């Protein structure tokens, strides 16, 4: 291939080809499943590590470009590895390394034929996501994008014999293709009708669009990529598709695939269109805030663990959009440094979410694999049987709740620091709205903490509310295998590294900002940030040291331990807990997942569509049943489906089976084309 400075790009393409070969090898070795889990998936993990290393390498190099001798006549495939693509390759490789290790142990019980197909789809999914990041023309991008959609559809419908899973897969594929049409139209607007060669991203960067057409391209891209990201009201596929897929696939869908949509937004808005307008930022802020609150409020109402995590993916997409919206508003109003901080915060949270959400889905998969349980109300006391899983899940829960010194805190703290730059704005509308959006972020953070107190308390602590039969699977009720634990440990380590050393990540993301906007954080902010202190703007305004914070926590814990040992050792008195005057206590007296969210349900009741079933007076085993539904189904999707069915029924009237009528239709169509074209 013809290329300029493509040494890191060569390595990335080699890793992609290795993923494809591994997928085909899994199909060939489908009668030898132990080789697939023992060799193919570990090799796929090594390829993922190579992809992450390539991204780190490429961040310090000039962009590499290549033209492949493939594609259509006069429309070859273009590749480009620049800092933005390099950052997302780090995200893809780092997250998929842990997930692939976990998969090597998780899929051992799967039948050989099914495992061979899954291996092909899994590695093709990884390869297509990498190609989305490297594509440098619209044709290559759409081919990779559709390959990613189709391979992920087959992964979601792995258990296709279940009707609900088939339904979830169809809904996902439908919305994915609606979004793909919008993305294709956005590329068409940016191409501007300048010929075949204008479909390269380099030509789109050079195009000069009027404010109207640039806004049209932005809206189409925002809609198209938002459908894949799961922003409201295009989110309805996500709560069904993520729980339907196998847990390692759910980790990839939420942790990585949703981020390719964020990559697409950033690529189109900041790079291909370029002239960012503050009005776009306000729209992204509004949609992001609504998506964030919607996701966390519905997550609180869930008792299916994987569905709960899926709604938190919607919430975190909203948080990322909030950072992008603030960045666009500041850049559009002439404050590029504050805009760079907002973009850094959004990209930082993109990386953080890939790590801690992947860890949480793997933890949920360990519970499902070991106990067969997904309903929180059936769990309890799992920390006794699965202590290592409980430890890793706790790290993920603390990280997603944005508690220091883990990684989730850093990115959300940077978003608050961006919002605090609002007084520098002269636009009264944006200056007054930014504190409100920051307040919604604070509210979402508090509700997320509440949700994961519920999850961890009900699932891992206490006791099971009711006895139930566990499936007779190997390792039932125990921690997963060594490979699965290695995958979770890798992502848990990522939560600590990204939280304890944010200054190095900031330097990396600053290069991405400079490559996109021509501006980054000020030299004073970067020199003030070192391995110990993070200074996003100026030290007199705000600074944060996760190392110092963690040292204080450890010191307080050690001091407390020593004081208790010194003054209270041997003086502990054991007695029964207070029984509230009713000694006949049973595990059923513990709060359920539904009861835990009752206060929030009362406050935000109009958001939910609720269906209750109360037990009768003569019911020998009384149970309260509550079903929470999404109003978007009844306000938007069902009316649209009925309208489509009505229009289809009317169009069907044209089909009479008579050849002379079809000839008349053809003749009328030709007349219309001659008149208007």
Tell me the per-residue pLDDT of 445-455, one tens digit each, with 9 for 90 and over.
999 999 999 99
Q: DSSP readout, 4-59? A: ES-HHHHHHHHHHHHHHHHHHHHHHTTT-HHHIIIIIHHHHHHHHHHHHHHHHHHH
Across-strand partners of 137?
200
**Domain regions of the chain by residue span:** 1-210, 276-534, 604-676
Q: How far is CA 483 from the centre of its chain?
A: 24
Across-strand partners of 386?
none
Look over the chain and give the mean of its residue pLDDT values, rounded to a whole number.
Answer: 87
Expressed in angstroms, the distance from the first to the final Cα of the chain is 41
- C-beta separation of 138 from 206 below 8 A: no
Helix (H) or strand (E) holding 166: helix 163-191
Q: Which residues contact 364 (CB under 8 A, 6 or more apart)?
A: 247, 250, 305, 306, 309, 374
pLDDT of 526: 61
- C-beta separation of 314 from 294 below 8 A: yes
pLDDT of 620: 66
CA distance 237 to 234: 8
pTM: 0.91
- C-beta separation of 631 from 609 below 8 A: yes
The closest alpha carbon to 291, from 312, 268, 314, belongs to 314
pLDDT of 196: 58
pLDDT of 151: 94
Is 31 exposed, middle or buried, given 0-12, 13-18 or 19+ CB atoms closer than 10 A?
exposed
- C-beta separation of 281 from 255 below 8 A: no
Q: Longest C-alpha distance within the chain, in Å?
A: 101
> What count of other Cβ atoms lies within 10 Å of the Cβ of residue 568?
9
pLDDT of 123: 95
pLDDT of 112: 64
The Cα angle at residue 210 between residues 207 and 211, in degrees rounded to 5: 125
Structure tokens at 664: 């008349």
Q: How far is CA 661 from the centre of its chain?
A: 51
The closest alpha carbon to 311, from 608, 675, 22, belongs to 608
Radius of gyration of the chain (CA): 26
Classify residue 654 by its DSSP letter. G
Structure tokens at 549: 């914070």
Q: DSSP readout, 195-232? A: -GGGGBHHHHHH----HHHHHHHHHHHHHHHHHHHT-T
pLDDT along the chain (677 residues), means of 10: 63 94 91 89 95 92 86 81 95 95 89 83 96 93 94 91 88 92 92 70 86 93 94 91 90 94 95 91 95 94 92 95 95 92 95 96 91 85 91 95 92 93 89 92 94 92 69 56 92 95 91 89 63 77 85 91 78 73 74 81 84 69 73 85 85 75 84 81
- C-beta separation of 326 from 378 below 8 A: no
- C-beta separation of 137 from 100 below 8 A: no
């Amino acid at each position: 291939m013809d290329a300029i400075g493509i040494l890191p790009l060569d390595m990335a393409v080699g890793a992609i080809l290795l993923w494809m070969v591994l997928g085909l090898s899994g199909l060939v070795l489908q009668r030898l499943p132990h080789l697939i889990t023992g060799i193919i998936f570990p090799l796929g993990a090594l390829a993922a590590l190579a992809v992450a290393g390539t991204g780190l390498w490429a961040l310090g190099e000039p962009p590499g470009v290549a033209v492949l001798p493939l594609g259509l006549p006069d429309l070859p495939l273009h590749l480009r590895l620049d800092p933005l693509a390099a950052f997302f390759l780090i995200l893809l490789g780092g997250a998929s390394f842990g997930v692939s290790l976990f998969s090597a142990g998780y899929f051992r019980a799967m039948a050989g034929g099914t495992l061979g197909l899954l291996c092909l789809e899994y590695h093709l999914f990884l390869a297509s996501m990498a190609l989305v990041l490297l594509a440098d023309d619209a044709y290559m991008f759409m081919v990779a994008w559709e390959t990613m959609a189709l391979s992920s559809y087959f992964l979601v419908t792995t258990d296709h014999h279940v009707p609900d899973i088939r339904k979830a897969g169809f809904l996902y594929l439908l919305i994915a293709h609606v979004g793909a049409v919008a993305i294709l139209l956005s590329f068409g607007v940016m191409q501007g009708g300048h010929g075949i060669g204008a479909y390269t991203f380099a030509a789109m960067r050079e195009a000069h669009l009027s404010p109207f057409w640039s806004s049209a391209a932005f809206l189409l891209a925002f809609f198209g990529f938002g459908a894949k990201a799961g922003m409201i009201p295009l989110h309805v596929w996500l709560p069904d598709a993520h729980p339907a897929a196998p847990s390692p696939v759910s980790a990839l869908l939420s942790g990585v695939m949703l981020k390719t949509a964020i990559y697409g937004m950033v690529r189109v808005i900041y790079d291909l269109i370029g002239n960012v307008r503050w009005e776009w930022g306000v729209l992204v802020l509004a949609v992001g805030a609504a998506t964030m609150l919607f996701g966390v409020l519905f997550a609180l109402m869930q008792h299916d663990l994987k569905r709960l995590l899926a709604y938190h993916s919607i919430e975190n997409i909203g948080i990322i959009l909030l950072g992008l919206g603030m960045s666009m508003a500041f850049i559009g109003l002439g404050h590029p440094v504050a805009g760079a901080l907002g973009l850094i915060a959004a990209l930082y949270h993109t990386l953080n979410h890939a790590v801690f959400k992947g860890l949480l889905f793997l933890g949920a998969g360990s519970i499902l694999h070991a106990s067969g349980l997904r309903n929180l109300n059936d769990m309890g006391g799992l920390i006794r049987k699965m202590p290592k899983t409980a430890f890793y899940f706790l790290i993920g829960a603390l990280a997603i709740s944005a508690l220091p010194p883990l990684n989730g805190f850093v990115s959300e703290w940077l978003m608050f620091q961006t919002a605090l730059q609002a007084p520098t704005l002269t636009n009264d509308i944006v200056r007054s709205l930014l504190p409100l959006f920051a307040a919604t972020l604070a509210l979402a953070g508090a509700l997320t903490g509440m949700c994961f107190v519920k999850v961890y308390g009900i699932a891992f602590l206490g006791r099971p509310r009711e006895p139930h039969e566990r499936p007779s699977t190997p390792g039932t009720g125990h921690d997963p295998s060594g490979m699965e634990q290695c995958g979770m440990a890798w992502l848990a380590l990522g939560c600590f590294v990204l939280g304890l050393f944010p200054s190095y990540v900031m330097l990396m993301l600053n290069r991405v900002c400079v490559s996109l906007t021509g501006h980054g954080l000020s030299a004073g902010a970067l020199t003030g940030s070192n391995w110990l202190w993070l200074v996003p703007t100026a030290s007199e305004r705000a600074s944060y040291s996760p190392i110092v914070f963690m040292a204080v926590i450890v010191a307080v814990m050690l001091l407390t331990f020593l004081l208790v040992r010194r003054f209270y050792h041997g003086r502990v008195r054991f007695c029964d807990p207070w029984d509230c005057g009713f000694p006949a206590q049973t595990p059923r007296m513990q709060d359920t997942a539904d009861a835990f969210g009752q206060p929030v349900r009362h406050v935000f009741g109009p958001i939910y569509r609720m269906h209750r079933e109360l037990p009768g007076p003569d019911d020998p085993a009384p149970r309260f049943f509550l079903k929470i539904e999404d109003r978007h189904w009844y306000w938007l999707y069902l009316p649209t489906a009925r309208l489509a069915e009505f229009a289809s029924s009317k169009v069907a009237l044209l089909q009479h089976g008579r050849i002379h009528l079809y000839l008349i239709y053809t003749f009328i169509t030709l007349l219309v084309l001659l008149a208007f074209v």
